[in-house]
Amino acid sequence: MVHASGGASLADLRIESLHKSFGPVDVLKGIDLAIRDGEFVSFLGPSGCGKSTLLRSIAGLETLTGGAIHLGGRDITDLPSARRDIAMVFQNYALYPHMNVRKNMSFGLSLNGMKTAEIDRRVAEAADILRITDLLARKPKQLSGGQRQRVAIGRAIVRKPQLFLLDEPLSNLDAGLRVTMRAELAALHERLGVTMIYVTHDQVEAMTLSHRVVVLDKGRVSQFGSPLELFHRPANLFVAGFIGSPKMNFLPARITGQGEGAITLRADGTASDLTIATPARPDPARPVTLGIRPDRLEIVGEGEGQLTGTVQLMERLGTESHAHIALADGTVLVAITDGTHPARAHDRVGLRIPAADAHVFDADGLALPRALDPATERLLTQ
Amino acid sequence: MRKTLAYAALIFLSALFVAPFLWTLITAVKSQADLVAYPPVLWPADWHWENFTDAWGKLSFNIFLKNSVIVVVLSTIGQLFSSSLVAFGFARFRFPGRDAIFVLLLATMMIPWDVKMIPLYMEFNYLGWINTLKPLIVPAWFSEAFFVFLLRQYIMTIPTEIDEAARMDGANAWQIYWKIHLPLMAPALVLVGTFQFINAWNDYLGPLIYLNDQTTYTLPLGLALFKGLHEVDVVSIAAVTIILCLPPLALFFYAQRYIMDSALGSSVKG
Ligand SMILES: Nc1ncnc2c1ncn2[C@@H]1O[C@H](COP(=O)(O)OP(=O)(O)O)[C@@H](O)[C@H]1O
Ligand SMILES: [Mg+2]
């Protein structure tokens, strides 16, 4: 129960080759993760990729098919949920409907035989932090979605766990409240300093809240890194396509030459080679994929740049415009330009891919190492 | 127009249902002369309320009442406890053969009481329970398929995350049953309790088979004593029948809204 006192037992979470299958279906296919004490980590991935299953495995609500979990140096793999020193906030809140807010929050404490005075103190403290003090006598039915969410968080806080698990805690709230609660969660983490794992399928939530993000794809860790790492150095095609909105543009390409610390390649439909700085030496016989983020793809005059296409759709968002440009083979690329860019539907335009901003993925979909400009590099290594 | 017809039909049906009760009530307060008068007296001039106390005093109804209360209270507690516990097991635990066992349990609903009567008698006779109230109480502690089914359906409407939250809060299976599901089931339990109460209160055949000694009789058996070999005390039968109707009626009025609630399936939401 002692949290980070003297730093002796840090609440590091270590997961080793965790496997989980439901009958014949492998849901988690070997997860390795090391999460540091006090870190805010998100599990991000499309629906059905196994985020909840991974979280529930950590909580002890699923029996593992294989692997081990350590928390703060203890092997908790076979411990029952209640003895793991972990609290969880469920997506549907899972408040006890027949108990008022106070009882909901104190239920776990009184089950563990805590003294009434201490329970009252903790409930009052948590209620104060979450500003639900005047709701303590109410039943869950009498609360709004946002208030229920707070109570669910309060129920987790009072236990002072080593690790907080939150499964899509904001997904049942309306958009406005989601933004407010997001900020409050960040503040709460700051205040409690406790390790938090946050499951979401919303990349904005993951990117804004987390120190580091685990991107999950079909039961595997696709990449584990800081939000900016994921954005600037996606490890593979999945992460590159998943992080960032609008999505990164992809073009099939082939390697035309390899020099010292650089390769040249030619994307399908382009008129000229692109020289990209990378120490990698991919097999020239195999195709690669060229990726370029919409905000880096430049619209130029027809005949300029490497590509030519027709504007299909111009989405004007005010501060910026999203141009959807169809190439001759039907591929549609998206470019973000300024809000006042004059291009209109059916216009013929040229597209320029700045070599420094290009991402290259080998035939297996893995990213080739890329050089970043010094400012970005500094941000990433902070 | 359609509304008028509907009301007419409803009033007619209500009258049809209320008539026997009213007739019994009127019979209960008749004098002996009014009872045998022909043509029958529809509305007696004198209402003999003392018939109720007289009838009650003619036999040891206080003892029958005590026996009935013991049977009803203990069997209802047993039924509520055992059926909810079994339902919780079927709703929330995974174990090999669970679904097959559940179907088997439901199948027992199809065995008519008449078929079980003799084997049960032999069993209770073997246990030495004949002429005691045990055969009327103990079986209720072993749950009833229909009630188990009903309560299981009810539990299944409650999200399993609530159980999991309780588990993380440190509750064991028993505490999850006792502190979470039992209170949440309350409306369904009122329904089950009402059914069990009324069944046990009105039960005639069970006591008739298992009880021989008048000191162990329950109220329905006591009531039947008025039907003597040579004469039938109609007024006393009517009077005691009216008294026996009151507790179930009171219970039903109290339980009505819960029963409507759980019958309509509106359980705990969000
Ligand atoms: N109890 C279960 N039994 C069978 N399959 C399950 C169970 N729980 C989850 N799954 C399956 O595991 C996969 C991952 O589910 P989940 O972890 O809930 O995904 P996510 O939270 O990322 O949307 C899904 O395909 C889902 O159908
Ligand atoms: Mg999920």
pLDDT-derived band of residue A265, with 50, 70 and 90 as boundaries?
very high
A215/B contact by beta carbon, under 8 A? no
Burial class (CB in 10 A: 0-12, 13-18, 19+), A96: buried
Identity of the residue numbered A344: R
Ligand 1 pocket check for A47: Cβ under 6 Å: yes
Specify the 3-state DSSP secondary structure of A266.
Answer: strand
Nearest atom in ligand 1 to the alpha carbon of residue A216 is 22
Separation CA B66–CA A29 (nearest Å) = 66
Chain A, residues 151-170, CB within 8 A of chain B, namely 155, 159
- Which of A93, A94, A97 lies closest to B164 in CB terms? A94
Residues of B in contact with A165 (CB under 8 A): none
Phi/psi of residue A113, nearest 5 degrees: 75, 25
Phi/psi of residue A80, nearest 5 degrees: -65, 155
Q: Whose CA is nearest to atom 26 of ligand 1?
A: A48
Q: Do domains A13-238 and A245-381 have the same CATH topology?
A: no
Residue A291 to residues A258, A312, A336, Cα–Cα distance (Å): 19, 20, 15
Asked if A87 lies within 8 A of B162 by C-beta distance, the reply is no
Ligand 1 pocket check for A49: Cβ under 6 Å: yes
Centre a 10 Å sphere on the Cβ of residue A133 and count the other Cβ atoms it contains: 13
Q: ∠ CA(A259), CA(A362), CA(A205), 5° rounding?
A: 120
Alpha carbon dihedral A188, A189, A193, A197, in 10-degree steps, equals 140
Asked if B171 lies within 8 A of A82 by C-beta distance, the reply is yes
- Tell me the two tokens of residue A156: 């987790």
Domains in chain A: boundaries = 13-238, 245-381
Ligand 1 pocket check for A53: Cβ under 6 Å: yes
- Which of B164, B170, B183 lies closest to A108 in CB terms? B170
Specify the 3-state DSSP secondary structure of A348.
Answer: strand
Contact A249, A333 (CB under 8 A): yes
pLDDT tens column, A85-107: 999 999 999 999 999 999 999 99
Centre a 10 Å sphere on the Cβ of residue B224 and count the other Cβ atoms it contains: 13
Asked if A108 lies within 8 A of B161 by C-beta distance, the reply is no
Among A238, A264, A253, A240, CA closest to A287: A253
Centre a 10 Å sphere on the Cβ of residue A348 and count the other Cβ atoms it contains: 13
Q: What's the gap in Å between A351 CA and the centre of ligand 1?
A: 42
pLDDT tens column, A4-57: 443 435 779 999 999 999 999 999 999 999 999 999 999 999 999 999 999 999
- CATH number among 3.30.460.10, 3.40.640.10, 2.40.50.140, 3.30.420.480, domain A245-381: 2.40.50.140
- Tens digit of pLDDT at every position of chain B (270 positions): 788 999 999 999 999 999 999 999 999 999 888 888 888 888 888 889 999 999 999 999 999 999 999 999 999 999 999 999 999 999 999 999 999 999 999 999 999 988 999 999 999 999 999 999 999 999 999 999 999 999 999 999 999 999 999 999 999 999 999 999 999 999 899 999 999 999 999 999 999 999 999 999 999 999 999 988 778 889 999 999 999 999 999 998 888 877 676 554 443 443
Contact A265, A360 (CB under 8 A): yes
Residues of B in contact with A93 (CB under 8 A): 270
Contact A311, A327 (CB under 8 A): no
Q: What's the gap in Å between A209 CA and the centre of ligand 1?
A: 24
B266/A contact by beta carbon, under 8 A? no
Residues of B in contact with A96 (CB under 8 A): 162, 165-166, 180
B180: closest CA of chain A, how far (Å): 7
- CATH number among 3.40.50.300, 3.30.420.40, 3.90.550.10, 3.10.20.440, domain A13-238: 3.40.50.300
- Tell me the two tokens of residue A363: 């035939």
Q: Are strands A288-292 and A274-277 parallel, antiparallel or unpaired?
A: unpaired
Residues of B in contact with A94 (CB under 8 A): 159, 161-162, 164-165
Q: ipTM for the complex?
A: 0.86
* This prediction's pTM: 0.86
Contact A170, A132 (CB under 8 A): no
Domains and CATH numbers, chain B: 60-228+239-269 (1.10.3720.10)
Secondary structure string (H, E, C) spanning B163-216? HHHHHHCCCCHHHHHHHHHHHHCHHHHHHHHHHHHHHHHHCCHHHHHHCCCHHH
Residue A337 bridge partners (DSSP): A321
pLDDT tens column, A16-28: 999 999 999 999 9
Residues of B in contact with A60 (CB under 8 A): 168
Among A245, A179, A236, A202, CA closest to A51: A202
